[in-house]
């Protein structure tokens, strides 16, 4: 393999990682209803892809190793896109915490962090339980749960994605301002 082929392959790999990562972010933006962001990401993604695929088509017959760089870039781009999205953590989630004796202390702690908590009383398999219902930005999940687990390490919880926030009082921690508010527009 010549230096020129290696450099071409490296360029194909890097561009493919970038365009597939953008594609992952675009897909998540579509699911979350972020139309403008999905449009912009799609435009950049396909522009990069067109450059990459034209390079691959021009060189793959003489240098089949370019196809390997292309495939490795695709696979790496999927992983990179997921990692980037986890780090950015766009959108909101619902955390449902099921607790027994610690429910009041957990609710107070979460409220101190600035998040509204709704409490529901219910019956579990072995007695009365309280469900704490919290809507928060995804990026706040780990800090919330860190505090929750300090109070009750055995707490049971589930999370769900939030599709649309209603028209009632939107908690200040969920109101989007600045560029994020603009990109969120549907």
Helix (H, G, I), strand (E, B) or coil at 131: strand
**12 near 73, Cβ under 8 Å?**
yes
The whole-number pLDDT of residue 32 equals 81
DSSP 8-class letter at 124: E
- Per-residue pLDDT of 43-84, as tens digits, reads 999 999 999 999 999 999 999 999 999 999 999 999 999 999
- Per-residue pLDDT of 9-42, as tens digits, reads 999 999 999 999 999 999 988 988 889 999 999 9
Cα–Cα distance for residue pair 32/38, rounded to 1 Å = 10
Q: pTM of this prediction?
A: 0.69
Strands (E), the chain: 92-99, 117-124, 127-137, 156-161
The whole-number pLDDT of residue 186 equals 46
* Sign (positive or negative) of CA dihedral 150, 155, 159, 162: negative
Report residue 162's pLDDT band, with 50, 70 and 90 as the boundaries.
confident
The percentage of the chain sitting over the pLDDT mark of 90, rounded to a whole number, equals 70
The whole-number pLDDT of residue 183 equals 54
- Per-residue pLDDT of 109-121, as tens digits, reads 999 999 999 999 9
Report residue 91's pLDDT band, with 50, 70 and 90 as the boundaries.
confident
């Amino acid at each position: 393999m010549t230096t020129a082929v290696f450099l071409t392959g490296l360029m194909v790999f890097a561009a493919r990682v970038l365009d597939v990562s953008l594609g992952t972010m675009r897909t998540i933006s579509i699911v979350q209803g972020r139309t403008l962001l999905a449009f912009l990401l799609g435009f950049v993604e396909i522009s990069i892809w067109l450059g990459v695929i034209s390079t691959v088509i021009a060189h793959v017959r003489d240098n089949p190793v370019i196809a390997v760089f292309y495939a490795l870039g695709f696979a790496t781009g999927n992983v990179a896109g997921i990692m980037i999205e986890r780090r950015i953590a766009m959108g909101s989630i619902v955390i449902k915490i099921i607790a027994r004796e610690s429910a009041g202390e957990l609710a107070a702690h979460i409220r101190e962090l600035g998040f509204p908590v709704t409490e529901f009383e219910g019956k579990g398999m072995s007695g009365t339980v309280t469900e704490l219902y919290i809507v928060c930005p995804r990026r706040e999940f780990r800090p919330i749960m860190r505090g929750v687990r300090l109070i009750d390490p055995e707490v049971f919880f589930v999370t769900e994605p939030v599709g649309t926030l209603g028209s009632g009082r939107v908690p200040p921690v969920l109101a989007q301002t600045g560029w994020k508010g603009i990109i969120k527009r549907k």
